[in-house]
Amino acid sequence: MSLLRAALPGPGRLRGAGIPWSILRSYSSASAKKAKSNGTCERTELLQVLKARVKQLQATSVPEVTLTKVELAPLQEVVAPREREESPSRTSSWVEKLKREARIQQLKVEQVSPIIASELALEAKVKNKAQGKVKGKGKKSPKTKTSHAGSPNIHVHGKPTGAAGKEAVTAPGRRVLDNKESSQFKILQQTIQSNLECFAFLQQPEEAERLLLMYHRSAKRKVLNVSAYNIVMRSWARKGRLQRINYLFSMLESAGLQPNLDSYAAALECLGRNPFCTKSIRRYLQQLQHDGFHVDELFQKCLFEEDEKEKVLKAVRMVHPNYQLPPAPSPQTCSSSLLQDFYSREKMVPYPKLDFSVQELQECFQKQLELEMNNTITIESVESSKPLTPQAIKARKLLATLRSQWHDSILQALQKSKYTMSKLKTASKYNELYPYLCLMPGEEYVGIMLEVLNTLSPQGESLSVLAKELGTKVYNRYITRRKLCSGQLEKLRVVYGGYIQLLAKDGQPAKYLPREYWEKLVAEAGFGPSLDLKNCSWSYMLLMRLGMHMLELLVQAVKMPRNILSPRLEPRLIPALYHIYSFRSSSQIGLIKPHPIFCQIMSDAAETTLTFNSSAIPMLCPPVPWTSPHFGAFFLNDTNLMRFVDGAIQHQLLLEQCPLVNLHPVLDALNQLGNCAWKINQPVLDIIISIFNDKGNEKLDIPPPMSEAPKPPALPGNLSALDKAQRHELLLCKKKAAEMHSLRVDALYKLSIANYVRDRVFWFPHNMDFRGRTYPCPPYFNHLGNDVIRAILLFAEGRPLGPKGLDWLKIHLINLTGLKKKNPLQERLEYANEIMEEILDSADHPLTGRKWWMNTDEPWQALACCMEITKASRSPDPAAYISHFPIHQDGSCNGLQHYAALGRDLIGAISVNLMPCDVPQDVYSAVAQQVEEFRRKDAEHGVKIAQVLQGFISRKVVKQTVMTVVYGVTRYGGRLQMEKRLKEIDDFPEEYLWEASHYLVKQVFNSIKEMFSATRDIQNWLTESAKLIAQSGQTVEWVTPLGLPIVQPYYRSRPTVLNCSMQNLSVKSTHSNQKPDTVKQKNAFPPNFIHSLDSTHMMLTALHCLRQGLTFVSVHDCYWTHAVTVDVMNQVCRQQFVALHSEKILQDLSKFMLEKYCSSDRETTAPWQKKLMEQLSNVPKTGEFNLQNVMDSTYFFS
């Protein structure tokens, strides 16, 4: 830092021997007059606080702490140092002052409020040294308590504790500060940085620096990393305050941290805003090179907002006028053996075009952008067609009046809360929520709270759900505002305008993938802000605390007259929301429940509009391609590449540590799925809405309205007089009503969104869970939905049926009926031709004809398929008929297929259709037959329960358990499944349910063990390996064959208690420094590992279908494409399954885990390591099955 030290003006040049940089004073670079005025006011206010604090400290005996008695000196004028070098004559006064402040730093901040210690160190004018020392006796001082997991409540004074209590409180905090790799440590870092980002966003660098100093001058300094200092530097750089930048560099040195590229970028940006600073620029550039960086790296690796990049370049060119920006780095190519052909430039083909012009896609982009800028969208409900009654008109007017009053009262409560918090900033407490309540105008916070109020269920909702929803809504709006303020919008318009050329039918053909083309366009755009924001995520605990605060304001502020519906009652105000407690499972939880009067008004009003977050609606243009773990999908809405449980950050850290090139296959597969355009099947949607608005139909999976809910029995005036049967009946009525309301609202949301986009083309951006399984981002309406939703979705792109397309439509219809599962495809086709009259009648008269379609497994998809077959068969040339209909091909018990392939298990492979057969093999029937054989033998030997079960063992009884064995179901879970199936059989004797289900699950497990011997060996090897890893205190990690890193997020977590005024909220949190949950780690590893393989197979199929020009989407192990391309997709699907399992999957897993968990620098190996090494090295042996047989298996996917 010697070169940099010479460049520092002011106190940086006057550093005395032995005086740390961390306590150097600094003052505003404003005019001397203004600085003098502001400083006097601040110090006067501070002195009042300090006098009160000194009295408190003198009156309190504090053990183990030495306090210096101080006299508060009168204020002296201090002239702010100028931005030029100080004269040597000033040195002695600075050194003397710094020595006095160094004395204050000797306070042990663990025993005194850290904010007071930092205020003393930062601002106090101390004249005389200590006159004596005060030693504490008796009571201990209140300790500073921080909520677990980096809780946002930084300083809350706890109750006095004894010696044991002291150890319990301080030890965890110290462990957190010492373990820098723990998630808890990183969450605390994240919370501090998000606080600083808020102040930077609010253009309050003084507050940001004040908060940074509070940590920098406390025992919590360890939690600060370079990023925290850089945030404050950037904040000052925007104002061109070089002195503050210099001071922060000195703080970095005192903290033992090395400046990084972002630090130098901030310094150079600041210098770029200041003319005549060439000497400082030259010294900073020299220091940058001295620290091992190159100037080019500033523009290659740093993220910029607004005009920051231009200012950095301006500074560089002040000393190097001919400097040119470095060229974009050459794109890296994924080296996976599974995708060598896919990424080969020689075999690259132009990207398939959408059936849209550049102009049309530009208009779609503009609509989507407007939608996201508004954050929310209000749409008409599908119930809006109902006639408006006088009662509804009256109730709506009443609601409008109440909402207007509530708006004003909530706004007033919010302003009062913010005012109270603002006063705490200079007192002995620091309320961290204050900046988060200043990020937007108060009206927006009120709007968010009213949105939540309007959607509250009559049964109420838990505090934790509501708090998370409120906190997340604020965060999403903050991210949108940040992106707009950073200047991203204009650059986004330019880049997306170019990206459209790749997709539009009249755009220039290009041999690029969407990700590659986007990266190329961004590199060519050059100047302007980075489209990828610097990390500014909020911790889960912070979201919960912010949400709880808003919820408390809402409950307190929302009141209504008691006599609003009954004028004869007393006209006093009552709360519209109540906080109550209820039991769910074995836990007591807090609920917010609307008052029955409010529920009645809402019910009478029957409002016909619904408000959603913009991210809940399908996109109206192709999504932004995923280019990194934190950029893709929506334009302004924040979306994670990987979904994870609340509070977990391990997955995101793992993705960020992974080389980006390793993630390219996963990103490209998600982009391919997201680029599929969709449209609505309007005739089917209209039929569904008509039944929905009538009385629903539970058989057809359309929930009835609440008017159809069972009526509770007539109750006496005194509820305590109810007998047990009456109480049970009442409870069942309430439970049924709650279920009906939930199902009805869910269907209402989905159908209303579908109706909103009925005349539009739309897209579903995708992300994935921690195992790599993919999901559409819009949560309500998407193709992963139930039969009703899938029936109303069509591909926007149509393709001619071709010579075999109509046959595939008919086979698909029979598959949907569930009638011919054991028959070959040709027989299914012949059956479809036999029932053509029923098919045509269903299409022509769906609600008035013979209604054949209603008696199928998937009635709505069957009806949609009937309509498509009818239109195609009646067209002049069915082969030329343009079809938009998706045809599905399902894996045959896909989890067992992967196990059989891994173990080369011949018997298992035959059972799950990996071997070619004339008819489809049904593993569920095979297991049922095996179980029946076991039962028959036991019955012959006089086993009573085996005799009772005669005639009751069927495919249906065993199917669910067989299906879920591969996904880790335990015998306990399997028994419950069996019991549920047996209950559905009317003739089965109820008294034998437990014994029979216990017997059956045992026999199912034995059957699978006998039929799939290699499968059980692999499952046991995975389970035992995970058990030993978890027992060693580590979580199970692996990497998929496509390079996606995976970690299991199961810990023995202790809930974190958030102390809120309404109630203490117990929040589950997961941290990598907690002990793994051994049971969950071992039980979940086999199914999670298989899920990661089925997602790998799906992604490989998606990418190679792209190369073949196919439309492809998936619902996990169910693949969709056009009728004309089913045969091509089937071939690709089989090729990629064979290619995947030709890799040494288990051997590679063993090698990875041995390297991760058993490599040690120690000379001696611990016993647990030896055991784990032995287990991991003992990879299960494989059988004789030849994988190439899959290529000829018709029923592998069918």
989, containing H or E segment: none
Q: Is 475 left (phi over 0), alpha (psi -120 to 50) or beta?
A: alpha
Taking the C-alpha atoms of residue 399 and residue 393, their distance in angstroms, rounded to an integer, is 10
- In DSSP notation, 525-573 reads H-SS--SSPPP-PPPHHHHHHHHHHHHHHHHHH-EEETTSS-TTS---E
Give Cα separations from 36 to 31, 97, 121, 832 (angstroms): 8, 18, 19, 91
Strand partners, 1114: 1119
Distance CA 1142, CA 338 (A): 10
Sign of CA dihedral 164, 166, 167, 168: positive
Measured from the Cβ of residue 442, the count of other Cβ atoms closer than 10 Å reads 15
Here the tokens at position 811 are 């086979």
Say which DSSP state 773 is in.
Answer: -
Q: How far is CA 431 from the centre of its chain?
A: 27
Q: d(Cα 1194, Cα 1198) in Å, to the nearest integer? A: 7
| Residue count (the chain) | 1198
* Three-state SS at 746: helix
Structure tokens at 168: 């319990």
Report which of 1009, 1011, 1000 is spatially closest to residue 923, judged by C-alpha positions.
1011
In DSSP notation, 1051-1091 reads B-PPPEEE--SS--EEE----TTSPB-HHHHHHHHHHHHHH
Can you tell me the distance from the alpha carbon of 576 to that of 592, in angstroms, rounded to the nearest whole number?
10
In angstroms, what CA-CA distances link 386 with 200, 389, 742? 50, 9, 21
**Owner of token pair 């595939």:** 808
Of 982, 1010, 1009, 1007, nearest to 994 by C-alpha is 982
Taking CA atoms, 1070 is separated from 182, 530, 644, 899, 1156, in Å, by 11, 32, 11, 31, 22
329 three-state secondary structure: coil
Cα separation of 662 and 658, whole Å?
7
Cα–Cα distance measured from residue 394 to residue 410, given in angstroms and rounded to the nearest whole number: 24
Q: DSSP class of residue 702?
A: B
Q: Which residues pair with 462 in a beta bridge?
A: 591
CB 364 within 8 A of CB 620: yes
CA dihedral (119, 120, 124, 126) in degrees, to 10, reads 180
Supply φ then ψ for residue 845, to 5 degrees. Answer: -135, 65
Q: Which residues belong to the active site?
A: 890, 959, 1117
Distance (Å, whole) CA 1112 – CA 1133: 11
* 246 Cβ contact partners less than 8 Å away, ≥ 6 residues apart: 7, 8, 9, 10, 12
Amino acid letter for position 706? M
SS3 assignment, position 625: strand
Q: How far apart are CA 325 and CA 282, in angstroms?
A: 18
Please tell me whether residue 221 adopts helix, strand or coil conformation. helix
Cα distances from 176 to residues 148, 171, 1075, in angstroms, run 10, 9, 14
